[in-house]
Amino acid sequence: MFQLPLYDLPSLGLNRRSRSFSVVTKYYEAELARLHGGPDLANLPKPLKEDPDDKNSKPAPREYVIKRKWYRQLAAAFNIDNRKWNILPIIEAYPTIQKPSAMFIKTPLELEQHVLAAYQIAYGYYVLAKKHSYSQFPFRFCGSAARNITLALLERGYVNATCVIDDLSDHAYTVLPFVLDWNNHQKGTILVDGTSDQLWFRWKKTVSSPPRNLVTVNFGLKWKYETDYEGGANLFPSRYLDVEAIKQSTDNLYYGDYKRDLITFLKESFSNPVRLNLS
């Protein structure tokens, strides 16, 4: 389905049963590192403190050097999202967007391909962010990561890519609404969180290894996203930033440009399924 820089990764083994699930990202992270010789994210030296304000954090190790352009191709919007003029080529590709939309998916294999494509883009962003902000990332980077991943997906033709934020817990991530061509046109979202590994705390040991670049598929209008963060609160979002909101935004993409009434947005998206023209 896709051409490089996206890889055809091993199958998720999906079928026509519509059940919410999480991708085992640890496996696919290792697979991508094997395919292109990337860094072993699981074994990078860790900062002394998990606090971006701590000046004693370790700098990036010298050997942590990215020589390939592959990551930049995946996350082409890396570090440019706050200046609207920088992203004009992306949003101008969508001149006639009038209402939110969901991608119409015809087969389980197609759903699988979209899930793995979204994961690879998040992975590419993570590697770049880790290199450039080693001692801090992913802590307190959820907003910039979510916007960058959303823009990278929009650039590839995912008109449904939407950045969302839970105001109560102050956490942002990306979602992709979809409608299936089976099971009575069941509706759902692909959730992509480029800073998910900051949400589980080692001392609680809720999970043995916090997932990097969490990707889940959730069916229905609402979903649960519960971690150690904010006492296990559900990180279901309260606001969103879709392509139309980006087009209407001010010069910089900040939280003030996010729209409210997420439920209405999702309902409108599900009522407008479209086939995507992907690059």
Averaged pLDDT, 64-83: 65
Whether this model's pTM surpasses 0.95: no
Amino acid 253: pLDDT: 64
CA pseudo-torsion sign 112, 116, 117, 122: positive
Q: 155 or 104: whose pLDDT is higher?
A: 104
- Domain borders along the chain are 21-36+69-272
- What confidence category does residue 68 fall into, taking pLDDT thresholds of 50, 70 and 90? low
Residue 121 backbone class (left: φ over 0; alpha: ψ -120 to 50; beta: rest) = alpha
Averaged pLDDT, 134-154: 88
Q: 54 or 165: whose pLDDT is higher?
A: 165
- What confidence category does residue 65 fall into, taking pLDDT thresholds of 50, 70 and 90? low
Scan for tokens 């705390």, then name that residue.
201
Averaged pLDDT, 189-217: 86
Amino acid 183: pLDDT: 86
User: What Cα–Cα distance (Å) separates residue 214 from each residue in 83, 90, 121, 161, 217?
Assistant: 27, 25, 12, 16, 10
User: Is the pLDDT at 168 greater than 80, yes or no?
Assistant: yes
